[in-house]
Structure 1
Amino acid sequence: MPAQNVYVTKTGTKYHKETCHFLKNSKKEITYEKAIERGFDACSVCKPRKEVSDSQSISSENSLTTTNRNTTSTQCLGKTKSGARCKRMAKSTSGKCYQH
C-alpha cells in the first residue's frame, strides 16, 4: 500500500488533511509515518486517519498514535517588563515561551 500523506504547518504540533482550514497560512506535505515519528498528533478538527488495510488491526494504529505524547505545556516562567509573570504557555524544556 502506498504511504498516506498528511500535512503539517511550520510551527504546529498536529497533522492534518489537505482540506483543513488550519493549513490556510502554511502547509508541508509529509508521510503519515514521518508525522508519527516526529511526534505530531492528529488534528481534532479535520480528524485525519491512517487508512488501515485488512491485514492491519486498529489497535496497532492506536498504539502508533499514542507514542511521543510526552510534550506538555506549562505557563512560561519568564517575566514581563513590568515584572509580572508571562501569561504565554511554554512547551520547551526550559519552561520559557518563544519570546523569553
Structure 2
Amino acid sequence: MKFFQLLLFLIFIGCSTKSPAQTVYTTKTGEKYHTATCHYLKYSKKEITLEQAINLGYQACSVCNPNSSPKQIQNLVSQSNQNTSSQETATQKTTATQCTSKTKAGKRCKRMTKNASGRCYQH
C-alpha cells in the first residue's frame, strides 16, 4: 500500500514540474544557434536555452535545423519583443565587425567580433 502511494506521489511530482527548456548551442562569434552535433560547433560551443538564444537575437542554423516548432519560436519572439518594447532601449544591439588585430604574418585578423574592444576572442 505504501509503495502504491509513493508511486502516485512521484508520478504527481513528475507531472507537475515544468519541463526543462530546450538546450541549444552557439559559437563565440556567430549569430546562429545549433544542435549539439552540428559541424559548425567544431571549435567553439556555448550552451544556452532556446529562449535565451532567441532573446539575444540568434537565429536557427539552416544546416542542423535545431528541433523547435515554428509556433514555439513565434511565441518566444513575441515575448522577447514585448519585453524590449516595455523597457527603454538604453543599450543598442551591436553588430559584428572585423577584428582589428594583426596576425603573426602581419595581416589583419579575419574573425568577426561583437566585443566593444574591436578584437576577437583570440586577441
- Unmatched segments (≥5 aa) in structure 1: none
1:33 aligns with 2:51: yes
Higher mean C-alpha deviation, range 4-13 or range 38-47: 4-13
Aligned to 1:94: 117
Q: Per the alignment, in what secondary structure is the counterpart of residue 94 of structure 1?
A: coil
State which of 91, 96, 115 in structure 2 corresponds to 1:73.
96
* Distance in 1 of aligned mates of 2:64 and 2:54: 17
1:46 aligns with 2:68: no
The answer to which structure has the higher helix fraction is: 2
Q: TM-score, normalised by structure 2?
A: 0.46
Q: What percentage of aligned pairs have identical amino acids?
A: 45
Aligned to 2:35: 17
- Unmatched segments (≥5 aa) in structure 2: 1-17, 85-92
Q: Displacement of 1:8 after TM fit?
A: 0.6
Q: Per the alignment, in what secondary structure is the counterpart of residue 35 of structure 1?
A: helix
Q: How many residues align?
A: 93
State which of 24, 29, 36 in structure 2 corresponds to 1:7.
24
Q: TM-score, normalised by structure 1?
A: 0.52
Q: CA RMSD in A?
A: 4.0
